[in-house]
A = this chain, B = another copy of it.
Amino acid sequence: MIIVLQPGVNDEQIRHVIERVEALGLQAHLSRGTYRTIIGVIGDESQLQSAPLGAIPGVANVIPILPPFKLASREAHGEPSVVDVAGVKIGGGHLGMIAGPCAIESHERLDAIAGEVRKAGANLLRGGAFKPRTSPYAFQGLGEAGLKILRDVGDRHGMPVVTEVMDPRYVELVAEYADMLQIGARNMQNFSLLTEVGRVSKPVLLKRGMSATVKDLLMSAEYIMSQGNSQVVLCERGVRSFDTDTRNLFDVAAVPLAKSLSHLPIIVDPSHATGRPDLVPACALAGVAAGADGVHIEVHNCPEEALSDGPQALLPQQYAAVATQIRALAELLGKTIASAATAMAT
């Protein structure tokens, strides 16, 4: 950490800053420049994170050198992590192919969609039972009934299942049914929820918030990991932008950036990132080419009847086409895609 002092700072103020630093058990290293005086702080920077050094009189600016996350950092774990979701690996050369409808609507419909995406090569089934909707008047999901459908359909098709949890009171319930818990973009900084999912032993799919930096995303991963659950998969799903021709702005560079900072796997979600089925295939391939550890795509067999986010879903045959392209690209890049398990339904 570097403390930049204001022009015209006096010796007493400098002494006071140094005392504060030393009181935290750290060394202060004074450096008087031609125009500005700076103090380098030597020692464990994390002790300074809650110390409001910027508020000390004479201090102009405080510049951290180390990122504030640890367990999620590459320094903590040199090799890329591999997260195992009930037998399907994500990370370290293994691609997760997550597909399914936005919301679970009925057993029949989910079963039909699951059959199609499994055949196309998906190895994880998604579907929402609790839906974060911007309108209180929109369909909010089937709740526990939806979880039961998801579990049953996943078992029938030999696919592990992932579903969103929105409320700390339901983390245990969702963990009973799901193989992987999803934290949605709007809850990326819902710290109560992060803490709760950090206490269960299921893998977590952590989606990036709409205005979160990659480091913010890693700090949220750190929340989960600090509770003991290190099975976190990051997900880039677009950030908010001024160009409203797409729902969000797909930040494909977040993939290599996250990998430069962290050992955690990161997948992409071109469905939410673009909100446009016609752009989903190009962005899915872009994500894999950039090094993503998986692709999350919404698929529906009748988008015009979907109860949530119908207009952004791919049809099963569109999903099959892009999945074929992803497999070819994965092969070129030396990545592997696990098959779903031998399934009851097939």
B-binding residues in A (CB < 8 A): 2, 4, 7, 20, 29, 31-36, 38, 40-46, 49-50, 52-57, 62-63, 65-66, 68-69, 75, 132-139, 166-169, 186-187, 189-192, 195, 209-211, 213-216, 219, 222-223, 226-227, 239-246, 249-253, 255-257, 260, 273-274, 278-279, 282-283, 285-291, 300, 303-311, 313, 328-329, 332
Contact = CB atoms under 8 A, between A and B. Distances in A.
A289 B213 CA distance: 24
Contacts of A55: 300, 303-304, 306, 310-311, 313
Given A50-B139, A211-B239, A256-B278, 20 more contacts: A32-B42, A49-B138, A52-B304, A53-B304, A55-B303, A55-B304, A132-B189, A136-B195, A136-B222, A136-B226, A137-B226, A190-B190, A213-B244, A239-B242, A240-B240, A240-B242, A242-B242, A244-B244, A249-B253, A288-B289
Contacts of A289: 282, 285-286, 288-290, 329
A66 B5 CA distance: 11
B52 A242 contact: no
A283 B251 CA distance: 10
Nearest to A17: B304
Contacts of A167: 168, 192
A105 B332 CA distance: 38
A133 B191 contact: yes
A20 to B, nearest CB: 7
Contact of A36 (B33, B65, B216, B329): B65
Given A4-B65, A304-B53, A243 B251 contact: yes
A141 to B, nearest CB: 11
